[in-house]
A = this chain, B = another copy of it.
Amino acid sequence: MGTRELGLPERVPSAGELPASVTVWEVGPRDGLQNEKAIVPVEVKLEFLDRLAGAGLTTLEATSFVHPKWVPQLADAEQLLARLDRREGVRYPVLVPNEKGLNRALDAGVEHIAIFASATETFARKNLNSSLDEQFAMFEPVVTRAREAGLDVRGYLSMCFGDPWEGVVPAKQVAAAGRRLLDMGCSQLSLGDTIGVATAGQVENLIGLFGDVGTLAVHFHDTYGQALANTLAALRCGVSTVDASAGGLGGCPYAESATGNLATEDLVWMLEGLGVATGVDLDALVGASVWMAGQLGRPSPSRVVAALCPPGPRPGPGAPPPGAPEQKQS
């Protein structure tokens, strides 16, 4: 039965150049849960984080200090961090929107924050009520103070490829905005395709405008089905940090409010097959996502999770194995 029994693909490296290992930046507990309708109890979040760490994920974006008025789903950030059982070798970055958020993060003793900027004027205005320039002016003291306090800072850049109001976003504009985040002290820049419209050539083109791919991460949404193909393109450019959400948390693609985060399992399946090390135990990860889906009361939108753990009653002995097609020919 080969590796199929273990729920893993055959391992065949790609002929193209790929990084030897990839850091999966797990955003499910933050980007995932903030986009779920349900407000999840803090105990469930804590167990979810623990299961994800147990599956071998080493970067867990744990929560956000955005004002609870905007994201009630993560209003328990302080509580969660106070009760978090931090594992050795695991980072727990938190999202910080502004100086007030930074104060809360510092009070909570976090070591790693992320800020969330826009690559377009319109989204900066819609999301932050500021212009592009004003947003950077707002972030500058956040990053400076965080760095002075010894914190590591990641910069998210959203709307890097398309913007629902502005349409196509010029790559040079995105690269300039990204450069400002790096220059102000972000150690990593996560390029986000917030509305999921990018295709592989756009991805290569934008990454090519940055000198040092070592500081880059990619954050793709699967709204148009492109997330994994775009990830493959980014890996070929040398990017080795990829954002993903366990179980595809954060929006079912069939729901109207879909955000369609790339599912960590679908990413890990590809990386396993390509022989790119992630340190993630896929079975344990699927287990964590199935458990979380049970808490949310709906199936996981991850294709790998659905394939390995189809919802509904388990087949009895003698039933065809998972993936077995029905007989089609006479």
CB-contact partner of A202 in B12, B253, B301, under 8 A? B12
Q: Which of A10, A98, A194, A226 has the most CB of B within 10 A?
A: A10
- Which of chain B's residues have a CB closer than 8 A to the CB of A322? 164
CB-contact partner of A273 in B9, B70, B198, under 8 A? B198
A132 contacts the other chain (CB 8 A):
no
* A161 (CB) vs chain B CBs: closest residue: B10
Given A3-B168, A328-B70, A330-B69, A306 and B254 touching (CB < 8 A)?
yes
Report the separation of the CA atoms of residues A301 and B303 in the bound assembly, to the nearest whole angstrom. Answer: 12
Report the separation of the CA atoms of residues A326 and B126 in the bound assembly, to the nearest whole angstrom. Answer: 9
CB-contact partner of A70 in B196, B204, B303, B330, under 8 A? B330
* Count of chain copies: 2
Q: Are B70 and A327 in contact (CB under 8 A)?
A: yes
- Looking at the assembled complex, report how far the CB atom of A126 sits from the nearest CB atom of chain B, in whole angstroms: 6
Q: Are B222 and A303 in contact (CB under 8 A)?
A: yes
- Which of chain B's residues have a CB closer than 8 A to the CB of A199? 9-10, 12, 269-270, 272-274
* A248 (CB) vs chain B CBs: closest residue: B225
CB within 8 Å of B: which of A252-267? 253-254, 256-260, 263, 266
Interface size on A, residues (CB 8 A): 91
> Which stretch, A43-51, A54-62, A82-90, A231-239, touches the partner chain B?
A231-239
- Which of chain B's residues have a CB closer than 8 A to the CB of A98? 329-330
Chain A 176-210 per-residue mask, 1 if CB under 8 angstroms from chain B, else 0:
00000000000000000011111111101100100
* A315 (CB) vs chain B CBs: closest residue: B256
CB within 8 Å of B: which of A149-184? 161-162, 164-168
Q: Are B127 and A201 in contact (CB under 8 A)?
A: no
